[in-house]
Chain A
Amino acid sequence: EAQVTQNPRYLITVTGKKLTVTCSQNMNHEYMSWYRQDPGLGLRQIYYSMNVEVTDKGDVPEGYKVSRKEKRNFPLILESPSPNQTSLYFCASRGLAGGPNRGGEQYFGPGTRLTVT
């Protein structure tokens, strides 16, 4: 089954304690992305990656890091989490656009609910 998986699904942590949220896709997609969802703001892009070792900032990258060492994995790292990073996080992936896939959808993971106290 084609899917994007995220772990953990729920995480409660304390300020300053480094954490990693994993994301993996089994569709051989080149493009992967992280979003955060906050009430009244919708989803906002944090970081994205066009392929292995190619990453770039989205709209709200402060306080986050990512890496793309393998095509299927795109972990999100919070080196020193703060309470303002309490949010719902989504990983998403897509294959390359072109031809009939030009308007194709992104596949979203199930979300990770993070609480930083």
Chain B
Amino acid sequence: AQTVTQSQPEMSVQEAETVTLSCTYDTSESDYYLFWYKQPPSRQMILVIRQEAYKQQNATENRFSVNFQKAAKSFSLKISDSQLGDAAMYFCAYRRGYANDYKLSFGAGTTVTVRA
């Protein structure tokens, strides 16, 4: 079974500053996908960014970017120019690349607090 580890239960960042959330995973697969989900107080799960393992280039979505280190099995999320609306719990998730494998394996989550 795949394991996803988020070692930071909580992170705090000053508004407009940058924060990096760490995620490591364990897999023997070569084809897979990695995701970061945001869960604000509304509890809705919102996809922030996805990374395909076979792509070398790190994914970016506006102020959100990842540092994907395949050999190290590391997938960190960087939030730049943090805003109050970024305050949420963030989950790292993994999915195998098989066409009919849709199961997401999640980390325990990191709660991000943004200080005004």
In the bound complex, residues from chain A placing their C-beta under 8 Å from that of B93 are 43
- For chains A and B in complex, what number of residue pairs have CB atoms within 8 angstroms? 57
Bound Cα distance A108, B6 (Å): 21
- The contact of B102 among A42, A43, A106, A108, by CB within 8 Å, is A106
Select one of B42, B43, B97 contacting A88, CB under 8 A: B43
User: Which of chain B's residues have a CB closer than 8 A to the CB of A40?
Assistant: 9, 108
- Determine if A42 and B44 form an interchain contact, defined as CB atoms under 8 angstroms apart: no
Instruction: Give the complex CA separation of A58 and B104 in angstroms.
Output: 10
A42 to B6 CA separation, bound complex (whole angstroms): 10
B104 near A43 with CB under 8 A, answer: yes
Contact with B along A103-117 (1 / 0, CB 8 A): 101101011010000
| A105–B51 CA distance with the chains assembled, in angstroms | 11
Between B33, B50, B103, B107, the greatest number of chain A beta carbons within 10 A of the residue's beta carbon is seen for B103
- Bound complex: CA of A43 vs CA of B108, how far in Å? 8
**For chain B, what secondary structure do more than half of its interface residues adopt (helix, strand, loop), or is it mixed?**
loop
B45 at interface, CB cutoff 8 A: yes
**Contact partners of B35 in chain A: CB under 8 A:** 105
Q: Any chain B CB within 8 A of the CB of A48?
A: yes
- In the complex, how many angstroms separate the beta carbon of A56 from the nearest chain B beta carbon? 10
Which residue from chain A places its CB closest to the CB of B108 in the assembled complex? A42
Q: How far is the CA of A42 from the CA of B47 in the complex (A)?
A: 15
**A94 to B107 alpha-carbon distance, docked (Å):** 20
Closest 6 CB pairs of A and B: A42-B106, A108-B45, A43-B106, A111-B43, A105-B47, A97-B99
B contacts, CB < 8 Å to A: 1, 4, 6, 9, 33, 35, 42-45, 47, 50, 52, 91, 93, 97, 99-100, 102-104, 106-109
- By a beta-carbon cutoff of 8 Å, the part of chain A in contact with chain B is 31, 33, 35, 40-45, 48, 50, 58-59, 88, 90, 92, 94, 96-98, 102-103, 105-106, 108, 110-111, 113
Could you pull out 11 A-B pairs where Cβ atoms are within 8 angstroms?
A33-B103, A40-B9, A41-B108, A42-B91, A42-B109, A43-B93, A45-B104, A97-B99, A105-B35, A105-B50, A108-B45
